[in-house]
Amino acid sequence: MKIGIFKSILVVVVCALIQTGANAATRTASIKINDKVTYQKITGFGGFVNSGQFAYNYMTTKEIRKLWGNASEAGYNIMRMYLPTGEASWSQSLATAQLAKSLGIKIFASPWSMPAEWKTNNNIAAVYTDGNGVVQEGSLKEEYYDDYALYLNNYVTYLRNNGVELDAISIQNEPDMKSTYAGCLWTPAQMAKFLKYYAPLINCKVIAPESVGITDNYASALLEDSVCAGFDIYAGHQYGAIQSGLKNIQAKGKDVWMTEYLINWNSDENSTRNFNWTKDAFSFANKLNDALLANVNAWVHYASKRFYGLMGDGTFGTVTGMMTKRGYIQSHYAKYATGTTRIDNAWNDDSNVLKGSSYLSVSGDSIIVMVSNSSADSYSLTVDLPFYTKGGLKISTTELLNMSGSVLVLADESFRPNVEILASSFTTLLFTKSNNRPDSKLVAQVYHPNKIDNQAVSSSAFGTAYKLSGKTVTFDHANALISANTTGASGYLKLDDWYTELVLHVATVSSTMSLTSANTTLYYMNSLGAVSSYNYGTIDFEVGGNYDWRLDISRKVLTDGCIGVLGISNGNYSSVLTIKFGDVYFKLGTEKLFGFTGIYSKSDSSLLGCLEDSACTSLNFTGTDSIMPELDWNALAANKNCLFYTGSNISNTHPNVVTGSTCNNLTLFDGTGNFYVPTSFNALTSSYSCSINGFETMVLPFVAAIPEGCKVYLLQSSSTEITCTQISNGVVPSNTPVLVEGTGTFKFVGSGTVSTPHALKVNSFYGVYVSNFAPANSYTLKTVGGTTAFYRVSSGAEPTIDPFGAYLFFSSTNSAATIPLKLILTDIKQNRMEQGVYDPSIPIYDLLGRPISKPGKGIYIQDGKKIMF
């Protein structure tokens, strides 16, 4: 048996980026940038200088200059100001507005309430309870719509007369919030009417609606052309959902701004603590990134100076007037994304940890990539660019660093630079174009042979709703995925292998409220044929889609085994998710298969990514033109056990190339990668080379001859011992787990059919071609204290079984800690056995064939000879 371990490799941190075969990071990932697909232009970033809660003297001039303006430390270019209620109070905002304008930034003002006498509840608050205990909700009386428009215009004029040109003014802060503090309620229809008929009275750009979320109800109400003419910026806050309707507004030529958001961990957790980098930095970074992926043009924080804000206020471990970690993370965007255009990118990260977004500079000659790494691992990140580059910049913020910059210099011009991403960091990468890169006409597509649509059902009564690939579905408390069954009465979806993941590619996702599924529960058929369930908790779906939602269905999570699936339920009663799926499929380990069409190009990004990815098990070129027979993909592949399929007209004899249904030379090695055969083929010559030191388990995908100096045993299990019968005909059968004995490097050679069947199991032994964990309560071969046997695997200590290895697993629980070996040596003739001399370097056995570490008095067998003590 091959038991693998995860290895951490030393990373040397340098300022220059050199493309050599030097030390790699702990994990590898890549991101492919596509500047042909563009999204929104980024207007900028900033914060609220004050509010009704924080007065105009809350931030000093020095603190304001630290956050806003090109010369500031933070580089923010948007300031939100509180519009004081009542004209008599407006003067308190003047000094701050004048200072902001001198910094050359954009400033806008948001009102909380108009004068109380204009409202239906005659109160500053949006909602209050009167003396009779009746709740009074306050909206602007329609007869005061024109007065309110003139009121807002008067504020614009007041600032203008004092040298400040306001960039925009909002109609209302959170018109859908029933606040007990200053506020006013506006329905979408009321807001639309005001904008249509009265906003033209305001001689300034208008912002609306500044709702609690950026929601479709307001977006739909404001979409009519006559209403759109009344405002310039569509805005909302990020406390509610960011829905897709904003794109319809943008299609009308409007910017969409996120104008208020905060994460107060003490309030959210109902506890009191200081800032925690691991918890708080990445929740903030991901929320900001989510908004940009949702297509907003600008992002503005709530209180700029606060312990949870962009600058400390002296509480909860923050220093008054010093930028916080959140302030620095937002500064990454402010300094490097402002003015850019967001462009498409695709992550290739098996860990599913890295998050971020990509941007094209105003000049079009630079790419900016934001990378959030919340894990304790560093990453070697390959950035696939649409042009050649000689380098650029890397700016990192960690628990100890604040926007620490270094120059990236490539040893050679490249379109696939590799950069180290520090553990637990937020990083900005900037690459400058040095040369054009020709477009590739080779098209890659991930191939998923185990689609959910292709699995069989145990009963036709189960229905066909499980065929999710390419479908758009509703997922909420009343609508399950796959099926609504929670019992096996109508059957189940049968699985044809011991899969470790159910992967649902989310092409797009939207929600009526939050993008979450609560108490997400999988109902499945366990290995004993009974229905079980597992609660995965809350699933947070990523804004924008185009990612994999993965459910671990391995025995590490579903400890009773999973042989079938019934459905996935959602306990969220407040949100209705609409999900468009790409491929939905079952996955074993890290297997990856790709197919290619079009004209072959050796510099194609996807091709290079596949060859560099040790998880790739096969590349299919049968639909590709212009393939040269001399191409040696095996020499370039990180996985030396990868297969390469071509048409039968291609004469290519390099290792592991399958032309049509024939492979001239299949060459496999232990320790060099997974092996998976999507389509069986005939090998003229096949070999597997491995190192053996004593005993190992082994499984081969072809029939092979036993090499000289090596013994191979067929295995038969029981709960008390493993009978190992030596193969006497010199041939190892295919797809049969066996025990191998020897010392040194051996090469098993054969020919004929090559295959890797699903759910490979022989006599309770499970063969492994794709690296996987041995489940708890299984048994793996080990030598402990000189005794070789099958030892039970404990929960939490599941070892990795490498390809071409095997483990033992009983369908019913076996309590034995160890199961010994009983060797039957068929090449030993007991009646004609020669007398030998004991050699301590050679394995020795008792007369029952069991390996012995320290022989006592008696008769033993060593190297086919009788040894007497």
What are the pLDDT digits (tens) for 535-549? Answer: 999 999 988 788 899
Q: What is the pLDDT of residues 226-258, one digit of tens each?
A: 999 999 999 999 998 899 899 999 999 999 999
What secondary structure does DSSP assign to 624-640, as a single string? EE---TT--HHHH-SST
Main-chain dihedrals φ then ψ at residue 659, nearest 5 degrees: -100, 115
Q: Burial, 288: exposed, middle or buried (Cβ in 10 Å; 0-12, 13-18, 19+)?
A: buried
3-state secondary structure of 157: helix
pLDDT mean over 296-325: 98
| Tokens matching residue 154 | 């008067």
**CA 236 – CA 735 distance, rounded (Å):** 60
User: Which whole number is the average pLDDT over 453-475?
Assistant: 96
Residue 790 is predicted with a pLDDT of 96
- Range with the lowest mean pLDDT among 20-24, 432-436, 621-625? 20-24
Mean pLDDT along residues 141-161: 98
Query: Quick check: 866 pLDDT over 70?
Result: no
Q: How confident is the model at residue 145 (pLDDT cuts 50, 70, 90)?
A: very high
In tens, the pLDDT along 355-379 reads 999 999 999 999 999 999 999 999 9
pLDDT > 80? residue 496: yes
The predicted pLDDT at position 855 comes to 81
- Residues with Cβ within 8 Å of 185's Cβ and at least 6 positions away in sequence, in order, are 126, 127, 137, 138, 139, 175, 176, 177, 178
What pLDDT, on the 0 to 100 scale, is given for residue 24? Answer: 39
Report which residue type is found at 609.
G
Average pLDDT over the chain, rounded to an integer: 92
Angle at 441 between CA 439 and CA 443, to 5 degrees: 120
H-state helical runs in 294-368? 325-336
DSSP 8-state secondary structure symbol assigned to residue 280: I
Fold annotation for 28-39+342-436: Immunoglobulin-like (2.60.40)
How confident is the model over 65-114, as pLDDT tens digits? 999 999 999 999 999 999 999 999 999 999 999 999 999 999 999 999 99
Task: Give the rounded distance of the alpha carbon of 88 from its chain centre.
Answer: 53
Q: What gap in Å lies between CA 183 and CA 302, rounded to an integer?
A: 16
Task: Determine the Cα–Cα distance for residues 837 and 860; give it in Å rounded to an integer.
Answer: 11
What the block records as the tokens of 560 is 């009773």
CB 105 within 8 A of CB 67: no
- Mapped onto helix, strand or coil, the DSSP state of residue 227 is helix
For residue 849, what pLDDT is reported? 55
Amino acid 9: pLDDT: 23
Pair 670, 649: CB distance under 8 Å:
no
Structure token pair of residue 707: 């090499």
At 781 the three-state DSSP class reads strand
Tell me the one-letter amino acid at 356: G
Share of the chain above pLDDT 70, in %: 94
| For helices 325-336 and 282-293, angle between their N-to-C axes, nearest 10 degrees | 30
Domain with CATH 2.60.40.1180 in the chain: 28-39+342-436
**What residue spans in the chain does CATH classification 3.20.20.80 cover?**
44-112+145-178+187-339
Given a cut of 90, whether residue 692 has pLDDT beyond it is: yes
Place 3 in a pLDDT band, splitting at 50, 70 and 90.
Answer: very low
Could you tell me if residue 690 is left (phi over 0), alpha (psi between -120 and 50 degrees) or otherwise beta?
beta
* Higher per-residue confidence, 864 vs 517: 517
> Are 154 and 88 spatial neighbours (Cβ–Cβ below 8 Å)?
no
Taking the C-alpha atoms of residue 840 and residue 820, their distance in angstroms, rounded to an integer, is: 21
Q: What is the mean pLDDT of residues 509-519?
A: 90
- Please give the full DSSP string across 665-723, using - where no structure is assigned: -EEEETTS-----SS-EEEEEEEEEEEEEEEEEE--SS-EEPPTT-EEEEEEE-SS-EE
Categorize the per-residue pLDDT at 14 as very low, low, confident or very high, splitting at 50, 70 and 90.
Answer: very low
Distance of CA 27 to the CA centre of its chain: 14
Question: In this structure, which amino acid lies at residue 394?
Answer: K
pLDDT in the model for residue 834? 58
Does the 44-112+145-178+187-339 domain belong in CATH 3.40.50.700?
no
Residue pointed to by tokens 């071969």 = 781
- CATH topology classification for 449-587: Jelly Rolls (2.60.120)
Say if residues 39 and 344 touch (Cβ distance below 8 Å). Answer: yes
DSSP state of 143: G
**Which positions ≥6 away from 770 have C-beta within 8 Å?**
588, 589, 590, 591, 617, 674, 675, 676, 803
CB 422 within 8 A of CB 377: no
Residue 830's pLDDT band, with cuts at 50, 70 and 90, is very low
C-alpha span between 675 and 769 (Å, rounded) = 5
What single-letter amino acid sits at 110? S
- The CA angle 64-69-73, to the nearest 5 degrees, is 70
Residues of the chain with CATH 2.60.120: 449-587
Distance CA 243, CA 290 (A): 12
- Per residue in 408-423, pLDDT (tens digit) is 999 999 999 999 999 9
- Tell me the backbone φ, ψ of residue 90, rounded to 5 degrees: -65, -30
Indicate the pLDDT class of residue 846, thresholds 50, 70 and 90: low
Q: Of the ranges 34-43, 299-308, 505-514, 857-866, which one carries the lowest mean pLDDT score?
A: 857-866
* Cα–Cα dist 720/820, whole Å: 7
Amino acid residing at 35: D
Q: What is the pLDDT of residue 513?
A: 83
Model confidence pLDDT, tens digit, residues 704-744 = 999 999 999 999 999 899 999 999 989 999 999 999 999 99
pLDDT score, position 848: 52
Kindly give, in sequence order, each residue whose CB lies less than 8 Å from that of residue 421, ignoring residues fewer than 6 positions away.
25, 354, 371, 373, 378, 379, 380, 381, 427
Q: What is residue 542's predicted lDDT score, i.e. its pLDDT? A: 85
Report residue 702 as tokens: 């072809």
Q: Pick the more confident residue, 827 or 571.
A: 571
> What spatial distance separates the first Cα and last Cα of the chain, rounded to whole Å?
32
